[in-house]
Structure 1
Amino acid sequence: MGSSQEEVTLLGVIGSSFVCRVKIALHLKGVEYKYVEENLGIKSEQLLKYNPVHKKVPVFVHGDKPLAESLVIVEYIDETWNNNPILPSDPYQRALARFWSKFIDDKIVGVSWKSVFTVDEKEREKNVAETYEGLQFLENEIKEKKFFGGEELGLVDITAVYVAYWIPLVQEIAGLELLTTEKFPNLYRWTQEFVNHPIVKESLPPRDPVFAFFKGRYEGLLASK
């Protein structure tokens, strides 16, 4: 396992939930890493070299081997460092965790984002309805469990950091009610449990600058109407 000793670098931006996923995985495993804040307006040579396909963050570099895409990176971290497993050992449970993680990316992240950052009223209403539908599936999946995988943080929780931290932030900016304790009591309870977990707490970006950044974007969008 000599390779796990090699230097680890993470290229990211502070407001990205995808970057945050990788940070949680690294903190959970106790991996030391160097963090490099990128400016996506002026993409660095390092970013273009390591992620020529998507030119996006996060980019994870282990030794001199780069990886892109947050869920791919989280699985790689889980397989490289054996302590505090992120994916279940049972193949069926592992497949389910991947299913729900993909569900969050396909059915919640994009549409909930558009329900805030879309000017067109009709389009927004459609996205809000789709977000409710996606969150309802998660509500039914979490039930009374502490975390999606049971007692310990796992892949689905890490993927859903967007639901726990970013949705409450952007819904406040837009004056929307996407995720509330009335509509989704179990999921809401999970968000509180999750964001207060010590590993997650140290991985989340500070709220004020992230809030200010997205508020600026939202106001810019309204001004362009």
Structure 2
Amino acid sequence: MVEPVKLIGGFGSPFVHRAEVALRLKGVPYELILEDMTNKSELLLKHNPVHKKVPVLLHGDKAVCESLLIVEYVDEAFDGPPILPTDPHERSEARFWSKFFVEKCLLSLWLALWTEGEEQKVFIMDAKENLTLVEAQLKEKRFFGGATIGLADIAGASLLSRWASVMQEVAGVRVMTDDEYPAIHRWIEDYNADEAVKECLPDRNHLISYFTMIRGKCISAAKSMLPNYLAKK
């Protein structure tokens, strides 16, 4: 008997997008349950009582939380094209760059977009340094793992594709341009053109409206991230 697969998600989340891309790359049918994050359901609270966030993957009676853990679980639990390489060194590199996107790129980019003044100038410089490292990695590659989308691509392109473009527009801050990072631009175009990705990319105009609506929350989130960021410097 095939166990049903459900994904608890929410509109506008690049983290939910990661989980959806993994499921679609593996060809796994699933039901998307859209959550109202201002009025969290008992289903979400039951299956992610620690963080109370989306995404949460439900596979039969099993629950998996955190977007990149979901990606790895989907890769191991279902048949289909591999998302992580089989070679141990290549797997470690994929995980390294995934962690880099989460701990460096996301944090510096978010602070660069949603802060002000002299602090913001520092965060923009940090974000550009991180993007330069990504640019160098992609100059000779289509994707991080080679010819097909892998873990690091899902971790990074989910942030730097449609979401980064939309957030820059809403915030009125330009951190990255296509001319400045041509390899990243080409990588994002290839990622967005993949059929599995296209099927779960949110409409750009809808995404702009969403981030315009939650702009205040984005600024508040940046303020809460600041102490953690400075502690790691």
TM range (shorter): over 0.9
Choose the corresponding residue for 1:141, options 124, 137, 146: 137
Task: State the shift of 1:220 in Å.
Answer: 7.9
Using the size of structure 1 for normalisation, the TM-score is 0.92
2:75 aligned partner, one-letter code: D
Q: Which residue of structure 1 aligns with residue 113 of structure 2?
A: 116
Task: State the shift of 1:129 in Å.
Answer: 1.3
CA deviations on 1:168-192 (whole Å, 9 max, x unpaired) are 1111222322221221111111111
1:64 aligned partner, one-letter code: D
How does 1:39-58 map onto structure 2 within 5 Å?
A: 39-58=36-55
1:36 counterpart = 2:60: no
Runs of 4+ aligned structure 1 residues displaced above 6 Å come to 219-222
Choose the corresponding residue for 1:104, options 101, 106, 115: 101
Task: State the shift of 1:221 in Å.
Answer: 7.5
Counterpart Cα distance in 2 of 1:220 and 1:152:
35
Q: Does the aligned pair in 2 maintain the 1:167–1:178 contact within 8 Å? A: no
Q: Which runs of 5+ in 1 are unaligned?
A: none
Q: Which runs of 5+ in 2 are unaligned?
A: 220-233
Counterpart Cα distance in 1 of 2:56 and 2:117:
35
1:164 counterpart = 2:161: yes
Counterpart Cα distance in 2 of 1:174 and 1:158:
24
Task: State the shift of 1:204 in Å.
Answer: 1.0
Choose the corresponding residue for 2:58, options 33, 58, 61: 61
1:196 counterpart = 2:193: yes
Q: Which residue of structure 2 aligns with residue 79 of structure 1?
A: 76
Q: Does the aligned pair in 2 maintain the 1:109–1:162 contact within 8 Å? A: yes
Counterpart Cα distance in 2 of 1:181 and 1:115:
18
Using the size of structure 2 for normalisation, the TM-score is 0.89
Counterpart Cα distance in 2 of 1:124 and 1:54:
28
Task: State the shift of 1:218 in Å.
Answer: 2.9
1:144 aligned partner, one-letter code: E
User: 1:6–1:176: structure 2 CA closer, same or farther, 3 Å change rule?
Assistant: same
Counterpart Cα distance in 2 of 1:102 and 1:193:
22
CA deviations on 1:102-148 (whole Å, 9 max, x unpaired) are 00000011221222222x31222222111111111110111131111
Counterpart Cα distance in 1 of 2:4 and 2:67:
19
Count of residue pairs brought into register by the alignment: 218
Q: Which residue of structure 1 aligns with residue 125 of structure 2?
A: 129
